[in-house]
Amino acid sequence: MKRNEFIERYWLYYLALENDFIKTIRFVSIDSENYNAFSNEYVRQLLSIGSEIDVVLKGYCSIIDSLQEPDNIRKYAAVLLNNNNSKNIINKTPKIKRMANMIYQPWKDWYITACEYVSPNWWTCYNNVKHNRITSFKEGNLENVINALSGLYLLEMFYCKEICDNSNEELTVPLPKSELFEMENWEEQNIIVGEGMIFKIID
């Protein structure tokens, strides 16, 4: 897969999901005091974003290790968190543009303990809403949606870098850029040296 193909298959869909969320900001401001605000729209968005995360994780894992076929969040972790490039995803912190205090670390709880990978809380909430909406409806809230969306954004940024690394492409970010999120110290180009290439992700 090339960068342009990634943009067509994945990134443009991400931007559509992001645009849906941006429209809600007119009614509910991004503020920790509003994190528990829930609605049918947040439920819809959480389910859509969670489903796309599953799709992206499958694709991402397949280019790291084509011999494995992970099918759940813990098995995805076993692939991504043991890869030199993607393991840094747990430390990355997207922030809301023009809102310096709104910083997220959606994958920070995706770690191994007692020989088992632990799911981020928002992912657990996504599954609760997916499988038992009657008792878990209020988990379709602003906090879980924005964490899920920032998690998807981060996944796609790493996925795009991996693709560009493998195909020796100079530009390593998907365009157009996110209107919602940004990250400091994120390299946007590979350094081409002669016929070789130096590639790294800033920690």
Between CA 145 and CA 190 the distance in angstroms is 32
pTM for the model:
0.91
Q: How many CB atoms lie within 10 A of CB 73?
A: 20
Per-residue pLDDT of the chain (203 residues; tens, 9 = 90+): 999 999 999 999 999 999 999 999 999 999 999 999 999 999 999 999 999 999 999 999 999 988 888 999 989 998 999 999 999 999 999 999 989 889 999 999 887 665 677 899 999 999 999 999 999 999 999 999 999 999 999 999 999 999 999 898 989 999 999 999 999 889 888 755 444 444 444 43
Work out the end-to-end distance of the chain between its first and last CA atoms, rounded to an integer number of angstroms: 25
Specify whether the CB–CB gap between 188 and 172 falls below 8 A: yes
Torsion of CA 9, 15, 21, 25, to 10 degrees: 180
